[in-house]
Amino acid sequence: MEGHSIVTLDDMSTTDIQDILDRAGYIDAHRAEVSHTCDGRVLATLFYEPSTRTRLSFETAMLRLGGKVIGFAGAQLASVTKGESISDTLKTVSNYADVVAIRHPKEGAALVAAEASRVPVINAGDGGHMHPTQTLADLATLRSRFGRITDLTVGLCGDLTFGRTVHSLIETLCRFGDVHFVLISPEELTTPQYVLDRIDATPSCSYTEVRDLTAVIGDLDVLYMTRVQKERFFNEDDYLRLRDTYILDEAKLAMSKPDMAVLHPLPRVNEIAVEVDSDPRAAYFDQVRNGMLVRMALESMVVGDDLAGYEPARPLSGKVGI
């Protein structure tokens, strides 16, 4: 993966993805040993839309590896306000940094950035399209909870139309196979057809579309909650009407399996009641930790810095990204 950009997980083999998860687990158990892995490296975080967790996660990942961070947290703080293109920004910034993390509201922006950059670019989310590092965090959380990422019934609830985390997770789980998806949403926010087609194209995967969370929660191994994203709506009335459609509280959670895992990409608004946080089924703050760990793994891999003492468990494909 050295020198390659990570725009999507599609270009990685499942073996490569498992290796990233292995590295993240190794990092978690060997914090001191890896703390100087990226000494002298610089990460640039170019965030054209608001973010707290993802930006701080990327930055903390590099700092914990011994590197440094530059960048901006909002388009209003960048030369885009003067009309500079993404391409020109990357041609400039890639002279300063060893790796770039970019988030942008437009789909395809990360690919444009990767093609212009002289150094690896990691997609931190582009519009409603892809969010590969969040998917890796999700997979790491599933593996830590269940010891596997297959043979699961995965419920995805809320905004399934605009939720890039949902689309990325479904796509990647289909590559591993043996997953039944339960797609829970209002009529206005159903899963796009191209995502359903991807499930249909995987013989070992299947899906059910439902409107009522309580009717299916007892069947789920995983419940992936999402917020209804105000920034994706053109009509505020539609947003206000749909935002409270699904709220997970103690009463609903009581209907689920005792070992069900509740995931959420965060930030939440009110779709998960605060009372759920103390339940052992709540895994969304574990996702935050796992997100930092997989970003540590990725950042070190794309710049070619080896983790002290780490030995890959399986041969890697050698074909990744751009």
Q: Which residues are catalytic?
A: 53-54, 82, 103, 131
- What are phi and psi for residue 161, nearest 5 degrees? -85, -50
Residues in the chain: 322
As to burial, measured by CB atoms within 10 angstroms (0-12 exposed, 13-18 middle, 19+ buried), residue 247 is middle
Adjacent-strand bridge partners of 210: 184
Distance CA 92, CA 95 (A): 6
Q: Tokens at residue 34, please?
A: 């890896």
3 state SS for 34-80 = HCCCCCCCEEEEEECCCCCHHHHHHHHHHHHCCCEEEEEECHHHCHH
Q: How far is Cα of residue 76 from the mean position of the Cα atoms in its chain?
A: 25
**Rg, the chain, Cα only:** 19
The enclosing H or E element of 225 equals strand 222-225
Per-residue tokens: 104: 């942008």
Neighbours of 322 (CB within 10 A): 16
What per-residue string of b and e applies to 160-178 under the rule 16 or more CB within 10 Å gives b?
bbbbbbbbbbbbbbbebeb
* Residue 180 bridge partners (DSSP): 153, 206
